[in-house]
A = this chain, B = another copy of it.
């Protein structure tokens, strides 16, 4: 049905690709997104990028190395999304904090490929220094938000900010991992994952003594 072309778009290129590395990462993201982190295949990414199966090895030591690179980029995007949601705690820390929680789930929901590479692909955090650094930066954002919230408490009973950040991350990740995906494999819920996390966070903050008196319902 197509004249002169049977493949959609091999924009004519010479022997050298130009920026194969970027294209491989994009291909990997697409594959992880549609077939899960295990279905992803080094050879297929090469095929998508229009190069021979051996070419990727010029840019990544092996399959795990590519996965680690994708995960690191994911953490960078993640950190940016969280920082944008937190917005330095404006207009007030409680409001900003709830935005943060929603942003976490939004990321997990809208970028399943990144989220899979980051948390479900079995990539060790120290697979590369860049990955470790990217993950640390993302966590630091959460920790800063926790500190701002804790500062609202009377000086007597302030929990450690690190611990609070770990709690927030744990609950967010738990909700996202167990109920945050629409991939059909999981349990049907009477509420959305976002509502579940929001309610959980409200209860947790209440337990800390942060009476978020402003009603957060829409």
Residues of A within 8 A of B (CB): 36-38, 119-120, 122-127, 135, 139, 159-160, 162-163, 166-167, 169-175, 177-179, 183-187, 189-191, 196-197, 199-200, 202-208
Q: For the complex, give the distance between the alpha carbons of A144 and B125 in Å.
A: 36
Q: Are B173 and A169 within 8 A (Cβ)?
A: no
- The smallest C-beta distance from A102 to any residue of chain B, in angstroms, reads 16
- In the assembled complex, 29 residue pairs joining A and B whose CB atoms fall closer than 8 Å, in A order, are A36-B122, A119-B177, A120-B122, A124-B184, A124-B185, A125-B185, A125-B186, A125-B187, A126-B184, A126-B185, A135-B187, A159-B199, A162-B190, A163-B196, A163-B199, A166-B189, A167-B199, A167-B203, A169-B178, A170-B179, A170-B200, A171-B171, A172-B174, A173-B173, A174-B177, A200-B204, A204-B204, A206-B207, A207-B207
Given contacts A120-B122, A204-B207, are A196 and B170 in contact (CB under 8 A)?
yes
Q: Is the interface of A mostly helix, strand, loop or mixed?
A: helix
The complex is assembled from copies of this chain, and their number is: 2
The docked-state distance in angstroms from the alpha carbon of A208 to that of B166 is: 20
Bound complex: CA of A159 vs CA of B122, how far in Å? Answer: 36
The interface residues of chain B lying within 8 Å CB-to-CB of A159 are 199, 203
Tell me the bound Cα distance from A10 to B139 in angstroms. Answer: 51
The minimal Cβ–Cβ distance linking A197 to chain B, given in whole angstroms, is 8
For residue A179, which residues in chain B have a CB less than 8 angstroms away from its CB?
166, 170
Contacting residue for A166 out of B173, B196, B202, CB 8 A: B196
